[in-house]
Amino acid sequence: MQDTPIFFPRLIGDAATPVVTRRSRRVFGKGDSTSMSKIKQSLAWWCFGRHMATDALIASAARIGYAGVEMAPEELWPQITDGGLKIITMGGHQSLGDGLNKRENHDRIEREIDQNLEKAVKWGVHALIVFSGNRNGLPDAVGLEHTAEGLSRVKKSAEDAGVTLVLELLNSKVDHPDYQCDHTAWGASVCEAVDSPRVKLLYDIYHMQIMEGDIIRTLRDNIKHIGHFHTAGNPGRHELDETQELNYPAICRAIAATDYEGYVGQEFSPMKDASIGLEMAYRICDI
């Protein structure tokens, strides 16, 4: 193994100056063919595509070692895959706030998921992201029952396609007021009710830090229900740097110690140079 630098930005005035420490890790290069890391990483396109030109972002991600991208515009998929990256996630259905917890949405959502499963098979997409929707006065027990019913309608299609439906955990305190799937226990109960290897949770570390904390214990206890992870610094949803409260090296070591074989997706809004933030985050999570 070869020592390679890890970048932690120290804010000096308005500039981010890399502070380099060293850790024994693989040679840093394109893709993950030489990787000795347990953690496979992806990046959310919406966070970085507005800060970098498309060709530059694809080239940087491949050079750093990212396996693929998430939630990228469909028209960019050929360019992304030609650049050596995979399409890791895409949306499973329309409308985050008007989702699976309402029975009247199930017909529409089933059609949308079936259509997107076809695309996922064609492009080798790992997972479709699905949403509970907002409560709008619906009791949690009722919303849970309805969400499980909606996912049960499409679980066979997901199983046949070999694509995982990941129900995203989001915070209802800061970013998504009234969203129903806002605690791990609620989401895990949905997964247990559906009882399918292709229906799991998208455990967003940033969102769950806001709602419940206790990240490492929670992910260890619920890893069988987790099909994907997202990251971001808290507070602020920015870089995984020394200004935020989450200990991402420890969190990623905890993930790597489980039998989890999915991806960890970087989903933060960069405050400084996006390419530096992407490289720093990759190094921090490269366990």
Which tens digit of pLDDT belongs to each residue from 247-264?
999 999 999 999 999 999
Active-site annotation holds for 112: no
Active-site annotation holds for 267: yes
Angle at 195 between CA 192 and CA 198, to 5 degrees: 115
Query: What value does the mean pLDDT take over residues 50-62?
Result: 97
Query: What is the model's pLDDT at position 9?
Result: 40
Query: What is the model's pLDDT at position 28?
Result: 35
Query: What value does the mean pLDDT take over residues 107-126?
Result: 98
Superfamily of domain covering 40-285:
Divalent-metal-dependent TIM barrel enzymes (3.20.20.150)
Q: How confident is the model at residue 177 (pLDDT cuts 50, 70, 90)?
A: very high
Active-site residue (options: 70, 112, 267, 279): 267
User: Where exactly are the structural domains of the chain?
Assistant: 40-285
Tell whether the model's pLDDT for residue 129 goes beyond 60.
Answer: yes
Active-site residue (options: 70, 168, 239, 279): 168
Q: How confident is the model at residue 22 (pLDDT cuts 50, 70, 90)?
A: very low
DSSP state of 200: E
Query: What value does the mean pLDDT take over residues 163-176?
Result: 98
What's the predicted TM-score (pTM) here? Answer: 0.88
Q: How confident is the model at residue 281 (pLDDT cuts 50, 70, 90)?
A: very high
Query: What is the model's pLDDT at position 37?
Result: 72
Tell whether the model's pLDDT for residue 94 goes beyond 80.
Answer: yes
Query: What value does the mean pLDDT take over residues 167-175?
Result: 98
Query: What is the model's pLDDT at position 36?
Result: 59
Q: Which long-range contacts (CB under 8 A, 24 or more apart) does 242-245 make?
A: 242/8, 242/9, 242/10, 243/11, 245/209
Tell whether the model's pLDDT for residue 19 goes beyond 70.
Answer: no
Query: What is the model's pLDDT at position 12?
Result: 31
What is the chain's mean pLDDT, rounded? 90
Quick: pLDDT tens for 222-235. 999 999 999 999 99
Q: Which segments of 124-247 does DSSP mark as H helices, in order?
A: 140-161, 184-194, 205-211, 215-222
Q: Are 210 and 174 in contact (CB under 8 A)?
A: yes
> How far apart, in whole angstroms, are the C-alpha atoms of residue 152 and residue 193?
9
> How far apart, in whole angstroms, are the C-alpha atoms of residue 64 and residue 39?
14
Please indicate whether residue 17 or residue 206 has the higher confidence score (pLDDT): 206
Query: What is the model's pLDDT at position 121?
Result: 98
Q: How confident is the model at residue 55 (pLDDT cuts 50, 70, 90)?
A: very high
